[in-house]
Copies of this chain bind each other. A is one copy, B any other.
Amino acid sequence: MVAVEIPGFWAVVPAGGAGTRLWPLSRSASPKFLHDLTGSGRSLLQQTYDRLGPIVGDRFLVVTGDAHREAVTGQLDALPAGAILAEPTARDSMAAIGLAAAVLERRGAEVMGSFAADHVITDEDLFARAVADAAAAARDGWLVTIGIEPTFASPAFGYIHQGEPLDEHPAARRVVEFVEKPSVPVAEEYLATGRYRWNAGMFVVRPTVLLDLLAEQDAQFAGDLRAIAAEPGRLGELWGRLPRIAIDHAVAEPAAAAGRVVTVPGGFGWDDVGDFDSLAELLGKDEECTILGDADVVHVLQATGLVVPGSGRVVAVVGLDDVVIVDTPDALLVTTRERAQDVKGIVAALKEKGRTDLT
């Protein structure tokens, strides 16, 4: 199956978040989405664009920080004018996606879907199918979330508790509730029921429905977003007073409680590349040493794990299992897959020492 364009459907791609657990590769000045983390020759942002292109054509809107506008334009040189919304400051996902919704409402978009710029998706055809299912339900006024089929009892994601299917859209099921990141035992219980999916923040909805749902919770927030869309010159004036809140809390959770959210299944293979352990899992086999970059400069003697050579220097590894080595021109990280989560502690320590040049 080849992805089929969905008429009137717009992709909204929030491109933000430094991802401190991928330091020293990902930094505030050069966040995760700008990097080629899969060795494909394309950055995660470019892969997101490539994946959505067949579905939306030119109807693509990136929401990113002012600081990254140039880098985004550089990586996506085929973007039409007006395809980048630049946020003066980061104000969490409701402001970013809400602004896109307000802009698209004025452009007459029928349906929109939000897709993070830094996720990896394995099967693009299945992804396109899920988006089409979601868009069909969204046209009928539902807030639709694509629920990722969980592959293990991860404590790192929020979960979607799904209920009964809709008669008119059999692929879509009502969302009973969104639940926060659980402990591993609780996640195991979720998986055993077969009724929980991972929340990857993929929301598909009519722009007007999203803004109206927001208005029910916070009329001024929705009003400000629509005011900015109507008069872009007011961005500087209004942006700073928008609440810092995730779209999940601002809209998705209350809407689910009101029975207005459905989920369609996403079994296309998904990874948010949360840390170097996920990246090693994604790229390699456990018994090998995976190299992301120029394998010619890496010399491995009886070692497994992940090596990212990034400074041109030779990297030699001897006798370590599940090691993670990330070599950049100004900083080097050595850890293990097991401890990959704790890399954020190094970033915190560097910030404390005033080394923001490195974070």
In chain A, positions 341-359 with a C-beta closer than 8 Å to chain B are: 342-343, 345-346, 349-350, 355, 358
* Bound Cα distance from A274 to B356, whole angstroms: 39
Q: State the A residues within 8 Å of B (CB).
A: 23-24, 299, 301-302, 311, 313-320, 323, 325, 327-336, 338-339, 342-343, 345-346, 349-350, 355, 358
A342 touches B319 (CB 8 A): yes
Min CB distance A297 to B, Å, is 9
Residues of B contacting A349 with CB < 8 Å?
Answer: 299, 301
* Bound Cα distance from A302 to B334, whole angstroms: 12
Q: How many copies does the complex hold?
A: 2
5 residue pairs from A and B, CB less than 8 Å apart: A24-B316, A313-B332, A315-B331, A319-B336, A320-B336
A358 touches B314 (CB 8 A): yes
Asked, given contacts A301-B342, A301-B346, A349-B299, whether A335 binds B355 with beta carbons under 8 Å apart, the answer is no
Smallest CB-CB separation from A340: which chain B residue? B318
B345 touches A314 (CB 8 A): no
Min CB distance A313 to B, Å, is 5
B330 touches A316 (CB 8 A): no
B334 touches A325 (CB 8 A): yes
B317 touches A334 (CB 8 A): yes
B339 touches A319 (CB 8 A): yes
B299 touches A313 (CB 8 A): no
Which of A302, A319, A325, A330 lies at the interface centre, i.e. has the most chain B CB atoms within 10 A of its CB?
A: A319
Smallest CB-CB separation from A309: which chain B residue? B332
B332 touches A318 (CB 8 A): no
Residues of B contacting A317 with CB < 8 Å?
Answer: 333-335
Residues of B contacting A355 with CB < 8 Å?
Answer: 314
